[in-house]
Amino acid sequence: MKAEPVIAGIARGRVLRLDEPVSFWGGVDPASGALTDPRGARPGETIAGRVLMLPSTRGSSSSSAVMLELLARGRAPAAVVIGTIDAILGLGIIVGREMGYPTIPLLRLAPQAQAAFADGAVVAIAADGTIAIEA
Amino acid sequence: MTPILSAGDRAVLAGRDGPAAAMALRIVAETARMMGAPRLIDIASVHVDGCLYHGDSGTAFVERLVADGGRVKVPTTLNVGALDLMHPDRVNFDPARRAMARRMMDAYAALGCAPTWTCAPYQAGHRPARGSDVAWGESNAIVFCNSVLGARTDRYGDFLDIAAALCGRAPYGGLHRPENRVATVLVDASALSPALRAEAALYPVLGAWLGRTVGTAIAAIEGLSGPIDEDRLKALGAAAASSGAVGLFHVVGVTPEAPDRAAAFGGNPPREIIALTGAMLRDARAGLSSAAVRGDAAIDAVAVGSPHFSLDEFAALDRLLDGRVARAPIYACTGRHVVDRLEADGRRAALEACGVILVVDTCVVVAPILPARGGLLMTNSGKFAHYTPANTGYDVAYGSLADCVASALAGRLVRDESLWS
């Protein structure tokens, strides 16, 4: 499966597939990467190190700041695969690169296509946006 | 798509205005590429959301801009910080976090931003002209700027805001483009009861419903009545921008780009028409309260002022309290532009005598201000209702301002259900 690389890069990790939009601010703990919204998707699970697949984000314009802090602390997802491109989330990754933090790929892939990847599957992402299931 | 850069942009990238401006322009140009914007445009002003402390990385970023000689090129206001600089004991940060949050706020001021520290800059004098391009952060400020002022900003995230201020440029995309500002969804509110349509508490609920229902689509609302003042539009937009990703809405006959239905839709027919019912709003209203809250539960606090309370809203709070002392504390979040006026006419002392706790420069869902033991918080703000459970650990109950005051006086939930039945 090939996704569109918006911020290209390579990554490998277990898929965490969310079926509803997430607000990074107010939805992700910037210190740990844990999902925190008790009314949101999968509260208590962590996005750190996961290939995060989700339809879109919602809400706060501070989501870029949460992404930057996750990158600075090494608690960011391994990659973000999103249905609707989100310049706010991508901005956090771009500023992370400016600050010399390790960066992650951001890819666009329609939610229907994301469904081909089971939650928990291990996938590898190539620089051209190819997502391959390893296990 | 790589945006086409002007000669001026290329000079800034090459270092003409120093390393901070060059980094700022790199960030703006990369954002333009992600958005698919063809070029950059000049902007008239900026509202910065990035001055709220979420961790040391944000402080490191802005201090880097200061060290590299950054200076804003356009008038720039600041959203809330994580500290109440007028009441240093309000926020229960440990010393290390307090110091980093303070350094962050100081660094933004050092870049030349006005220390307004408010999420309602549009009520503190920052009102760009209709049709002008600006770069605003903070979701409620963005939706108000677009919808009520008719100035044009896309939904910019933290860091793009200050980057745009340092280079005076923004991507030409999203809601900067006139064709992206026309409504596609018509919301007809005319079947709601006249009593509900007259009620201020309708607006946060309508906003919460709107955000959940339309997401990023642009709606035009018809059939509202009563005084549709800026505070009501502010409440609607804030709720819509937190429950969805709404950056612009129109109210036909009220907001500047919707003098009539044809103008709101750019001459096209609506793609979708939704006839609003009381049942839809009852669901949305229920969604603003925690599931487990009993109808007469004891409350631990009331919070108002998201977005920051205006002078008119304080006047309404004052009238409802009528000199009585509340059993539960009422946290009222606002900006210096309002506090100065409340102090000048003696109302601050009167409100505090009734149990109102003023929170300035910040608010109760972005900083640890509420007592850490948790409990039940009541609010009239759709935005507070949305963020309270995840950000404070409190359960939340939504009600009108009158409900909030009645509940604060009684120390338990008192809500007028008649409007919603």
pLDDT, tens digit (0-9, with 9 covering 90-100), for B62-95: 999 999 999 999 999 999 999 999 999 999 999 9
> Of A31, A61, A92, which is closest to B137 when you measure between CB atoms?
A61
Q: What is the mean pLDDT of residues A37-52?
A: 91
CATH architecture of B7-173: 2-Layer Sandwich (3.30)
CA distance A135 to chain B (A): 31
Q: Is the pTM of this model over 0.90?
A: yes
- Say if residues B25 and B10 touch (Cβ distance below 8 Å): no
- Using a CB-CB cut-off of 8 Å, the residues of chain A touching B386 are 26, 59
Residue A57 — pLDDT band, cuts 50, 70, 90?
Answer: confident
Q: Does B2 touch chain A (CB under 8 A)?
A: no
Residue B187 in this model has a pLDDT that exceeds 90: yes
Name the closest residue on chain B to residue A88, using Cα atoms: B157
For β-strands A79-82 and B40-42, DSSP reports them as unpaired
Q: Tell me how far CA of residue B44 lies from CA of B136, B166, B197, in angstroms.
A: 10, 12, 36
Tokens for A5, please give them.
């690389």
Residue B371 in this model has a pLDDT that exceeds 80: yes
Give tens-digit pLDDT for B274-294. Answer: 999 999 999 999 999 998 888
Helix, strand, coil shares, percent, chain A, to 5: 20, 25, 55
- Using a CB-CB cut-off of 8 Å, the residues of chain A touching B160 are 64, 87-88, 91
Q: Where do the structural domains in chain B lie, given as residue ranges? A: 7-173, 182-287, 301-420
Same fold: B7-173 with B301-420: yes
Q: What is the mean pLDDT of residues B39-52?
A: 97
Q: Print the domain residue range for A50.
A: 4-133
**Catalytic status, residue A60:** yes
Could you tell me the CATH number of the domain that includes residue A122?
3.50.30.10
Q: Does B156 touch chain A (CB under 8 A)?
A: yes
- Using a CB-CB cut-off of 8 Å, the residues of chain A touching B54 are 25, 30, 62, 65-66, 69
- What is the percent of chain B where pLDDT is above 90? 94
Least confident of A85-89, B204-208, B338-342: A85-89
Give tens-digit pLDDT for B102-118. Answer: 999 999 999 999 999 99
For the stretch B322-325, contacts whose Cβ atoms lie closer than 8 Å and that sit 24 or more positions apart, written own/partner, are: B323/B350, B323/B354, B324/B354, B324/B409, B325/B353, B325/B354, B325/B355
Catalytic residue from among A23, A56, A60, A62: A60
Among B163, B267, B254, B408, residue whose Cα is nearest residue B399:
B408
Number of domains comprising chain A: 1
Q: Does A24 touch chain B (CB under 8 A)?
A: no
Q: Does B54 touch chain A (CB under 8 A)?
A: yes
B66: left (phi over 0), alpha (psi -120 to 50) or beta: alpha
Residue A59 in this model has a pLDDT that exceeds 70: no
> Of B27, B158, B244, which is closest to A65 when you measure between CB atoms?
B158
The CATH homologous superfamily for domain B301-420 is Aconitase, domain 3 (3.30.499.10)
- Say if residues B301 and B331 touch (Cβ distance below 8 Å): yes
> Of B50, B245, B389, which is closest to A65 when you measure between CB atoms?
B50
- Using a CB-CB cut-off of 8 Å, the residues of chain B touching A27 are 390
Name the closest residue on chain A to residue B52, using Cα atoms: A62
